[in-house]
Structures are given as structure tokens and as C-alpha cells.
Structure 1
């Protein structure tokens, strides 16, 4: 990779993280301001960055267009779209689709709820591994050694009193979630929000993504959110089928209070 290209990518990454002034960018990149200014001017001409009246830089429309194209190119997002919209319409709540890569869980699609109070999230941003239902679901796809490696790097930021605070706790919760076929975020990321999540399986029989439903506790109590699991599991079963997952690779889930595993509604 050429030095100029590497520096331009470094500048773009820094701008995406909120480092917005020429002085700060030059300091972070470690080069003279004139060099960074030339890079910024090129990026601005191509629409990758913009500049406000106070000369602070921000991401430009070209970045978002590329991100949208990249997300659309992912088969799982295309396959999941109809089921996500139907799940959101059926429950009236916010629905997320997330994937895992290299220790990071990222929201790749979202259908907003009709409620005025909603979970804050954005497509393209990472989800907290230890404090979200999708994070726990996707960690459940890792083998023991990889799970330990990834969990050891989690900073365990304390969002609420219920947030998991250590690696052993998280590993135990991930395994419990995998065993029953779904995960929860019981006021662990936001005190007013509960979520349930379930895995989506790909054609290779492995977990390819996770879907979650997020509900403010003023709309439904925790027990009511658990009552949405059959609808969630039906949606993930449908998406898995769209991706070509073998029926034999999709385990049945154990619902709260059930004495035996229950197949997702609408699954074969």
C-alpha cells in the first residue's frame, strides 16, 4: 500500500472517530499539517469528508453510499429483510440484524419501532459484546479457545447495574444462551430496555447472524418481552431457510418455563 493511500485511510478513520480538526488530525497521523490538508482536500473533493463553517471535518456522503452498498452486498441482509420487517410489524418493536467478524459484532440492519422511546443504535456501528443479546448469540458460535481469546479483550464497560462485569460471567452466559437457543439483554445496556436475540444459520450450518427484538420496559415488562420469543424464533428460522441452512442444523430452542425444547413457530 502506498504511503499516501495509507495516510488518507488513517485520516478517514480518525474523522469517523470524531477527531475533527486539522491540528488534531496532523498530531494523530504524525505528519505536517500541510500534508494532512492535502489529503483532506482530496477526500473532500471526492465526497468522503465534509467541512463545516468552523473548519471541523466529518464523514461525507460518499462514505455512507459505500457503506450502504457493502451492506446490501451481504447475502444475509438481503435474505433477512422481509422477515425483519414482518417481525417489527408483528411486535411493534425495534428489530436488529447483526453479524460477527474478528471480535466485533456489527449492526447491519435495523427496523425501527413505532414507540417514541427506542433503543439507540445505528447500522454500521458495533454492539457491546457483553451487554447485548446479539453479542451473546454471536459469541456462542465461537469455539472455546476463540471465545476465551475474544472475551479476554472485552473492556467490560459498566452500562447499568445489571451489566456483566467479568470474563467468566460472560463465558457462562454465552454458553447458557447457546444451550437454550436464545439470548437476552435484561436491562444490561440501558436501564429502560430489554432485548431477546436468536441465531440465524447459514448454508454451512453455522451461525451467520443474529436477530434481536428490543422493547422499552414501559411498553412491556421483562416477562412480556420473553413472550415475543416464538415470533423471534419463527423469523430467524425463516431467514435461515432463505440462506439455505439445512433443517437439521437448526437446533430447537427451550422457551422460558418449558420442560422440553420447542421448535420455532413456522419451522419444519
Structure 2
């Protein structure tokens, strides 16, 4: 990277800390004011920095527009997949990634269990929204009024005796999930299947997806599956960090 480009790029994280004047920029870059002025002028011409009336510089609107477009172009599935594989390799159970599309929650990725007993879930298939752990996480993150509206227009099939019986119970469960930051489905859809899930968050802290680990109770008990929750949450946090650009880390912490 050329010295000029390096210096120009160094200005951006400096201004992310807050507005700075020419002298402050020159001091940080350890260059003459005339050099700092040329760099700032170029960045200003491209809309990446803006000069205020008090002659201090701040980040420009075009930079935020570019960042927004970049975020919209991110594929959470592509980012998450290596982490899902690593999680599957560590625990051996089925791993899912799900997102919300209007009034449905869909699986968009899946890594199968290494055990002979497999789950019948499919990529692109909607989940049982009133009981699935991933759905609880995605709906729990909605504003309260919207959360209530969604809950009140859902049907509540009695898949098992542990299924959510109605909107009031669902809203209570979503409030609990919102507070604790993780969710479970312990036999709510199929009596023999348990699931733990954690949220994937974007740069604004909102839940953009959810990951889960699921297993039949003939392979692992509900208590043993719950013991994997810290690992599931660390994996979700690693995906969140990479998706939101907080760190270049690409592997799930071990």
C-alpha cells in the first residue's frame, strides 16, 4: 500500500472518534499540515469526510452510504457457514441457521448430525414458528407492539403437550427470551427432539439470524444439550462479530 493511501485511510478511524481539526490530524499522522490538508481535501472531494463550519473535519455522509450498501450486500449464510461446520464438528449434532422473512422463519443453512438418527428439517423450509427456538429469538427482538401483533395473528398448533398454547403464553416466552438472550425448544415440536439457540446480531445490535443445535433425546438428554449452550452462544457471537465487522476473526473460539 502506498504511503499516501495508508495516511488517507488512517484519517478515517481518527475521525470516527470524533471531529478533528487540521492540526490534530497532522499530529496524529506525524506529517506537515500541508500534507494533511491535501489528504483531507481529497477525502472531502469524494464525500468521505466533511469540513464543518468550525473548520473541524468529521466523517462524510458518503462513507455511511457506502457502509450501508456494504452491509446490505453481506450474506449472513456465507459468513456463518464455516462457524456452523466448526460447531457441528465439536458437538456432533445438527446445526441450523435461520432468518425471518415477513411472518415466516426459514432455515437457510444446515449441517447434519454425525449420528445415525437425523432430523428431517430442510433448507428453505419454514420452522414451526410458535415453538422453534430460532423463531423465538427472531420474534423476541421485534419492538413490543409489533411482537404483540405477530403473536396475536399466529395459530398455535398442539404439536405435543409442551407446545405453546396461545398468544399470551408466547408473548411471555418471548419476553423471557429477550431478557436472557437465548432460547430453547424442549419437545415443543417433536417430543423426542430438543434444541438450543442463540442470536446472530448485526452492527446495530439487532438480531438478523439465529443458530441452533438440535438433537433427539435418544442421542443426548435435554440437560446434556443445554450444557452446550455456552458453545452455541460463543459461535453466534463469533458470527455476529464477523458479520458486523467488529473483528476479522474467522474461526469460532475454542
- Structure 2 length normalisation: TM-score? 0.67
Distance 1:192 1:115 in 2: 15
Query: Match for residue 186 of structure 1?
Result: 186
Query: Match for residue 148 of structure 2?
Result: 148
Secondary structure of 2:244's match? Answer: coil
Instruction: Tell me, yes or no, if structure 1 residue 227 matches structure 2 residue 224.
Output: no
Query: Match for residue 162 of structure 1?
Result: 162
Distance 2:231 2:174 in 1: 22
Equivalence map 1:99-138=2 (5 Å): 99-138=99-138
Q: Which runs of 5+ in 2 are unaligned?
A: 1-72
Q: Which runs of 5+ in 1 are unaligned?
A: 1-72, 248-264
- Displacement of 1:204: 2.3
Distance 2:74 2:119 in 1: 24
- Displacement of 1:246: 5.4
- Structure 1 length normalisation: TM-score? 0.64
Secondary structure of 2:130's match? Answer: coil
Equivalence map 1:55-66=2 (5 Å): none
Q: 1:74 to 1:189 in 2, by over 3 A?
A: farther
Q: 1:101 to 1:243 in 2, by over 3 A?
A: same
Distance 2:90 2:139 in 1: 28
- Asked if 2 retains the 8 angstrom alpha-carbon contact of 1:88 and 1:111, the reply is yes
- Displacement of 1:178: 1.5
Q: 1:244 to 1:74 in 2, by over 3 A?
A: closer
- Asked if 2 retains the 8 angstrom alpha-carbon contact of 1:164 and 1:188, the reply is yes
Distance 1:201 1:245 in 2: 11
- Asked if 1 retains the 8 angstrom alpha-carbon contact of 2:74 and 2:243, the reply is no
Runs of 4+ in 1 over 3 A off after TM superposition: none
Q: 1:138 to 1:121 in 2, by over 3 A?
A: same
- Displacement of 1:245: 5.9
- Displacement of 1:184: 0.2
How many residue pairs get aligned? The number is: 178
Query: Match for residue 79 of structure 1?
Result: 79
Larger Cα-atom Rg: 2
Query: Match for residue 197 of structure 1?
Result: 197
The superposition leaves residues 29-63 of structure 1 with CA deviations (integer Å, 9 ceiling, x where unpaired) of xxxxxxxxxxxxxxxxxxxxxxxxxxxxxxxxxxx
Secondary structure of 1:117's match? Answer: coil
Query: Match for residue 91 of structure 1?
Result: 91
- Asked if 2 retains the 8 angstrom alpha-carbon contact of 1:204 and 1:245, the reply is no
Distance 1:129 1:153 in 2: 12
Distance 1:232 1:110 in 2: 14
Q: 1:181 to 1:93 in 2, by over 3 A?
A: same
